[in-house]
Amino acid sequence: MAIDFKGRVAIVTGAGGGLGRQHALALAARGAKVLVNDLGGARDGSGGSLSAAEAVVAEIRAGGGEAIANGASVTDWDAVQAMVQQAVDTWGRIDIVVNNAGILRDKTFAKMDLADFRLVLDVHLMGAVHCTKAAWPHMVEQKYGRILLTTSSTGLYGNFGQSNYGAAKLALVGLMQTLGLEGAKHDIRVNCLAPTAATRMTADLMPEEILAALQPQAVVPAMLVLVGQDAPTRTVLCAGAGNVEAAHITLTQGAWIGLDGQSPERLAEQLAQVCDRSGEMVPPNGSAQGGHEVGRAMAMLKPA
């Protein structure tokens, strides 16, 4: 069955170039009305211009689609509220938010200025919070919404020199987990996408031959599925070079180490068993971890 977005209204942040541009073009090509947001700043977040967003809007309109431009910084709560209202005033609703805007301020943790750490958190994490928060009441009222948060392999698995970026990107997975639970009764589905793509964000991080294989277009199918009508929720997809994988935060079966004075030594002795991944699970929510632990404790402490 074809995935189409006729009648849907989408906001894509950071859509003036790279991956965001591809997201906006793909949604518009499949019928969505798209608000193209881009601050128009440099890779490190400095500067700003509406021209990048306007160029993508022109592309969409040239292809017969509907689009408007917006130059809000996702770090500016008032500007983000106005952006969502702009979409609602223009088209009457907001169905999809693709949180794609981001910056890089890479340095090793030892050399990183705390201002650069905070700014990256502000753009990636709070930027997504702002956009999602502004759209949320509209989605609750219409009983429909699709939120996509852009995570990263850096957040999921780490990358040298990107402690700020990694912290922000894994925080978005935590945000997804709870928003997916809270949005379920309103048919608001929240997912994460970890893209591997050649954009200005990665231009000097990889060799040319690898960049050539990582076309941004290859990430778009995963985005379309994660914001479609039949989208899953609380799902993390990784995509790049024509491949798609799912990432999970799992819980091992672990071991009961007791509550006495020898518990630390017992844990040290059984650490390999605690870390053994055979039989690992994906808990449906945070309380399931506690349920697993209490259940095992009760079984171990039960009189023979």
CATH number among 3.40.640.10, 1.10.287.3510, 3.40.50.720, 3.50.50.60, domain 9-247? 3.40.50.720
Catalytic residue among 165, 183, 240, 257: 165
* Dist. CA 241–CA 243, nearest whole Å: 6
Q: pLDDT tens, 258-292?
A: 999 999 999 999 999 999 999 999 999 999 999 99
- The predicted pLDDT at position 88 comes to 98
Q: pLDDT tens, 20-74?
A: 999 999 999 999 999 999 998 556 555 556 889 999 999 999 999 999 999 999 9
Percent of the chain with pLDDT over 90: 86
Catalytic residue status for 144 = no
Residues near 176 by beta carbon (within 8 Å), at least 6 away in sequence = 149, 151, 190, 191, 192, 234, 236
* Dist. CA 130–CA 121, nearest whole Å: 12
**What does the DSSP 8-state code read for residue 70?**
E
Domain residue extents for the chain: 9-247, 263-301
